[in-house]
């Protein structure tokens, strides 16, 4: 019997990760990373806030919180909801107690399906780009619920230090495909940067924690990875 995966429930934090099937690479060049991030914005941002992320050549990690009271909304109530393309979705945050009074067609999203859309869309792009076929990702992505601030901070440090652990750099600031640079930048971002800084008591301590030598194997054990 296949393993039952944790549901992605509104209002909850999750550490989400996946890898290439048989540990194959998911990204070969900068265009691939950029395309994945574009698809992530399209499929995941409507249903989840992102607090940290890293894209490694053959795997990735995300720290997200599933949004509450988000619905698909259609201005044309005569169209079948199932027939409407994803691009036609109008995302709104709405009190679900008011759904019965809504005159438009609405549907509550299923976040795990959004990740399936992301992986399927990226696989189609990747296979076409590199003239390959077949599955690209492991069949079921991993998702671990996070229930306290200490765990949140550990997951975030683990995510940002992944490139260091795998020998791609000596400090998270040197790796271009993670949220660390967005965290310390003043540029506009959809990353929940202010919340992250609050977890660490400000940017100075955020940087200090990332400057420390971290035993990622110990963190993996504490996170049950």
Q: What is the pLDDT of residues 156-174, one digit of tens each?
A: 999 999 999 999 999 999 9
User: Measuring CA to CA, how many Å separate 38 from each of 50, 96, 101, 134?
Assistant: 14, 29, 35, 22
9-60 confidence digits (pLDDT tens)? 999 999 999 999 999 999 999 999 999 999 999 999 999 999 999 999 999 9
Q: How does DSSP assign 73-85, residue by residue?
A: EES-TTS-GGGS-
pTM (two decimals) = 0.86
pLDDT tens by residue, 72-82: 766 554 455 44
> Structure tokens of 26?
């998911």
| Predicted pLDDT of residue 83 | 45
Confirm if 137 and 123 have CB atoms less than 8 A apart.
Answer: yes
pLDDT, position 78: 46
Nearest 5°: the CA angle 34, 38, 44 is: 130
pLDDT band at 97 (very low <50, low <70, confident <90, very high): low
User: Among the listed ranges 52-56, 79-83, 100-104, 116-120, which one has the minimum average pLDDT value?
Assistant: 79-83
In the structure, what pLDDT confidence band is assigned to residue 107 with cuts at 50, 70 and 90? Answer: confident
Reported in sequence order, the residue ranges of 158-205 that DSSP labels E, i.e. its strands, are: none
Domain ranges for the chain? 13-67+110-223, 70-107
What is the arithmetic mean of pLDDT over 134-154?
92
Assess whether pLDDT exceeds 50 at residue 84: no
Mean pLDDT for all residues in the chain: 86
Report pLDDT for 70.
81
Lowest mean pLDDT among 104-118, 157-171, 172-186: 104-118
> pLDDT: is 181 or 105 the higher one?
181
Domain 13-67+110-223 part of CATH 3.30.70.1290: yes
């Amino acid at each position: 019997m296949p393993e039952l995966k944790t549901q992605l429930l509104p209002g909850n934090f999750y550490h989400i990760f996946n890898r290439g099937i048989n540990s194959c690479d998911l990204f070969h060049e900068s265009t691939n990373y950029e395309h994945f991030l574009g698809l992530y914005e399209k499929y995941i941002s409507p249903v989840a806030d992102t607090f940290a992320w890293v894209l490694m050549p053959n795997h990735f990690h995300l720290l997200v919180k599933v949004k509450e009271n988000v619905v698909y909304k259609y201005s044309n109530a005569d169209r079948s909801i199932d027939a409407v393309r994803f691009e036609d979705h109008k995302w709104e945050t709405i009190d679900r107690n008011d759904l019965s009074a809504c005159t438009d067609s609405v549907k509550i999203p299923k976040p795990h399906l959004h990740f399936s859309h992301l992986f399927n869309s990226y696989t189609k792009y990747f296979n076409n780009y590199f003239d390959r076929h077949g599955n690209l990702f492991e069949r079921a992505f991993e998702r671990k619920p996070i229930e306290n601030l200490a765990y949140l901070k550990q997951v975030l440090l683990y995510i940002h230090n992944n490139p260091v652990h795998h020998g791609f750099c000596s400090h998270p600031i040197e790796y271009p495909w993670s949220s660390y640079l967005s965290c310390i930048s003043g540029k506009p971002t959809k990353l929940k940067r202010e919340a992250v800084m609050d977890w660490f008591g400000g940017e100075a301590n955020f940087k200090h924690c990332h400057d420390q030598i971290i035993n990622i194997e110990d963190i993996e054990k504490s996170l049950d990875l």
